[in-house]
Amino acid sequence: MSSTTTKSKVTPNLTAKDLNGNTFKAPDYTIGDIIKCIPKECFERPLLKSLSFVARDIACLFAFGYLAQTFIPQIPSKELRFAAWTTYTIVQSFPMVGLWILAHECGHQAFSQYGWINDFVGWILHSYCGNPYFSWKFSHKKHHQHTGHIDKDMVFIPPRANEWKMFRGIKKFSECAADTPLYTIGVLLVQQIVGFQTYLLIDATGQPHPELMDKWYGRLWTSHFNPMAPIFDKGDGKFILISDLGLGIVGYAVYQWIQHFGWFHCFVHWFIPYMLVNHWIVFLTYLQHTDVTLPHYEDSEWNFARGAAATIDREFGFVGWFFFHDIIETHVCHHYVSRIPFYNARKATKAIKELVGDNYAYSDENMFVTLWKSLRSCEFVEGDNGILMYRNHNGYGIPPRDD
């Protein structure tokens, strides 16, 4: 970890009020305390075990595809065929998300102890899922290094209250009427349909780069496909090009797929599942880092342990633990120690919970309900002691300061 991530000189016993009016106490333990409490066997990463999950997810892809292609065309009713194909694309996206998450494990070196195997497997799997492997790996690493840091985190960074007011063109919250649910629906649709693509293309929801805003290419320069983008470090460029090459190969394969089997075959077996993968990734990522109880920190009160604790575990049932490889249910552990493979994360989570107590964030509320609530409630953050908590102008919870 860098010197930034190990900074420990923060104010002890620091508190703030969350949106619900409950007292939030910033963690005072260290990342060293966390690592010591986790059983050593949780850090083991047997290659064959990890590869077995890749094989299982690929087998599910082929099995679901075979069943769909064999039986759905035999349905006589157009309406029922449409419903069946729709259901199939949703189900087919589940193991595809699984492969995406296994590639994500590769990027964290949680897949095995062999770095080159991790990168090779991750590059293949992420490329198939339409994701630039190395580009994502590098920017995602910075997200982990600075989770919850209002000025250095890499994704889903909430605006401060004054930034939100500036965007709305107002001086006081009292001048702005509450948004209608219709507006929230519009935000929801944009976020869930094209949110991940816009993040990759222009680093949407990432840190601003004022030095680029007066340029004609502006945000486009921060693209995950640009080897010279400011979100990457010097020397990363060649790996970004390898990521782009992987996507180019997949793009050509998709073109040949359409040429040989027709657009509909590619549409239902790959393109719609690919779009749904992006939906699920945005859905999961947003709700792992956005909740009325979660803080963000200014630099003076941030350290790695506090940032890692600014995440939340949720429940997504069978799909979550079987297809999505527990990425929802054990995300807090993943942020504390990202090299622990997912199949050891529940055991590690149990040990972490015993140490951190009330600083472990968890919710078993239906995630679709939470998504709606979070979009309405978590609009911006404010605070005056280094902890920034969510507030909104829609009348939910503690009102923001109108100054």
Read off the pLDDT of each residue in 44-58 and give the average, rounded to a whole number.
98
pLDDT of residue 216: 63
pLDDT of 1 higher than 50: no
State which amino acid sits at residue 53. Answer: F
pLDDT of 21 higher than 80: yes
Tens-place pLDDT, residues 355-376: 999 999 999 999 999 999 999 9
Tens-place pLDDT, residues 153-171: 999 999 999 999 998 888 8
- Check if the beta carbon of residue 289 is closer than 8 Å to that of residue 275: no
pLDDT tier, 3 (very low <50, low <70, confident <90, very high otherwise): very low
pTM of the complete model:
0.94
How far is residue 134's CA from residue 119's CA, in Å, rounded to a whole number? 8
CA dist 371 → 68, 270, 359, 376 (Å): 31, 26, 22, 9
**Higher-confidence residue: 177 or 148?**
148
The label of the residue with tokens 């995440």 reads 311
- Check if the beta carbon of residue 1 is closer than 8 Å to that of residue 145: yes
pLDDT of 7 higher than 70: no
CA dist 401 → 15, 296, 357, 393 (Å): 18, 17, 31, 10
Read off the pLDDT of each residue in 184-199 and give the average, rounded to a whole number.
93
Percentage of the chain beyond pLDDT 90 is 88
pLDDT of 152 higher than 90: yes
Among 90-94, 213-217, 285-289, 332-336, the range scoring the smallest mean pLDDT is 213-217
Read off the pLDDT of each residue in 177-187 and give the average, rounded to a whole number.
89
Tell me the pLDDT of the chain averaged across its residues: 94
pLDDT of residue 143: 97
How far is residue 359's CA from residue 31's CA, in Å, rounded to a whole number? 13
pLDDT of residue 42: 98
pLDDT tier, 8 (very low <50, low <70, confident <90, very high otherwise): low
How far is residue 262's CA from residue 233's CA, in Å, rounded to a whole number? 41
pLDDT of residue 300: 96
**Higher-confidence residue: 99 or 211?**
99
pLDDT of residue 227: 96
State which amino acid sits at residue 213. Answer: M
pLDDT of residue 206: 87
Q: Please give, one letter per residue, the 3-state secondary structure of the chain.
A: CCCCCCCCCCCCCCEEECCCCCEEECCCCCHHHHHHHCCHHHHCCCHHHHHHHHHHHHHHHHHHHHHHHHHHHHCCCHHHHHHHHHHHHHHHHHHHHHHHHHHHHHHCCCCCCCHHHHHHHHHHHHHHCCCCHHHHHHHHHHHHHCCCECCCCCCCCCCEHHHHHHHHCCCCHHHCCCCCHHHHHHHHHHHHHHHHHHHHHHCCCCCCCHHHCCCCCHHHHHCCCCCCCCCCCCCCHHHHHHHHHHHHHHHHHHHHHHHHHCHHHHHHHHHHHHHHHHHHHHHHHHHHHCCCCCEEECHHHCCHHHHHHCCCEECCHHHHHHHCCCCCCCHHHHHHCCCCCHHHHHHHHHHHHHHHHHHCCEECCCHHHHHHHHHHHCCEEECCCCEEEEECCCCCCCCCCCC
Q: Computed from CA positions of residues 138, 225, 325, 155, in that sequence, does the dihedral angle turn out positive or negative?
A: positive
pLDDT of 398 higher than 60: yes
Give me the residue spans of the domains in the chain.
35-391
For the chain, the C-alpha Rg in angstroms (whole number) is 22
pLDDT tier, 175 (very low <50, low <70, confident <90, very high otherwise): confident
Read off the pLDDT of each residue in 300-326 and give the average, rounded to a whole number.
97
Distance from the Cα of residue 52 to its chain's centroid: 24
